[in-house]
Amino acid sequence: KPVTTDMKTLTEEIEKFAEGKKIEIDTLKIREEYRRDFLGNVSHELKTPLFTVQGYILTLLDGAMNDKKLRQKYLQRASKGVERLIYIVKDLDLITKLEVGDLKLTREDFDVIELIQNTFDLLEMKAAQKQIALVFDMEYPNPVYVNADREKVQQVISNLLVNSIKYGHANGTTEVSVENLIKNKVIIRVTDNGSGIPKQHIPRLFERFYRVDQSGSRSEGGSGLGLSIVKHIIEAHGEKIYVESEVGVGSEFSFTLEKTAKRAE
């Protein structure tokens, strides 16, 4: 009798053990899949600009180097390709840190209105090139102090503005507004009247490397990482991001931040 009990216990233990191992193996498999998927995407993203740069270099070596005008033109294009590679690698670095939870927030109190205006200044040229107006919805806005990681919030605003420029129409407008939500929250909205996003893509928009129109987005030269970086940063702050969009009308991305009564020094 004691043997059967022991056998039963033993069987149970073996099952438990096997079950535990199975879960471990499943997790490992998922991780391995994730890693493979990630690496696959990375090499895919890097390939296009690398081949482009190599193409210009080969053309130069092939004789274009001897023509002053062509030399200038191809070197400039090669440099643009390298610039794009740098952006992609920077985004990859950031997303890796954000995904393993390795990025610490440095919170401080700052005026988010001023930060938005700063970001407008940085992107003014880019917007002007596409004849897109960046506007603030208040003419003389009062400061709004929030408690957050200033640099990362700037990256969020910048990524959203860059997208509104990339996917906007010439002579379009991107409007930014800051509103009180509930007592200690503000909501920042970035609204464009660009191409809009088809409904079926909305749930996947914040996934890394996800793009709506593969060819169209690719020609805009993004990495498909912008929105996933945005989401990670907002969630690391314990805040939320929302999107509303309609094809042919435009898109609105909005996110919340914690308001603070305390003024920055």
The nearest distance, CB 166 to ligand ADP, in angstroms, is 6
CA–CA separation, 263 vs 110, rounded Å? 7
Binding flag, residue 233, ligand ADP (CB under 6 A) = no
Whole-angstrom distance, CA of residue 144 vs CA of residue 264 = 11
Q: Cα(150)–Cα(118) distance, rounded to whole angstroms?
A: 12
Please, which residue, 107 or 126, has the CB nearer to ligand ADP?
Answer: 126
Q: What are the start-end ranges of the E strands in the chain?
A: 107-111, 133-136, 145-149, 173-180, 185-192, 241-246, 250-258
Q: Which of 194, 237, 241, 257 binds ligand ADP (CB under 6 A)?
A: 194
Site string for ligand ADP, 116-135 (x = CB under 6 A): --------------------
Q: Which is nearer to ligand ADP, 164 or 256 (CB)?
A: 164
Find the binding residues for ligand ADP in span 126-185 (CB under 6 A). 163-164, 166-167
By the 10 Å C-beta count (0-12 exposed, 13-18 middle, 19+ buried), 230 is classed as buried
Stretch of 11-19, 34-42, 181-189, 204-212 contacting ligand ADP, by CB under 6 A: 204-212
Alpha-carbon Rg of the chain, whole angstroms? 24
Residues near ligand ADP, by CB under 6 A: 163-164, 166-167, 192, 194-195, 197, 205, 210-213, 217, 222-228, 251
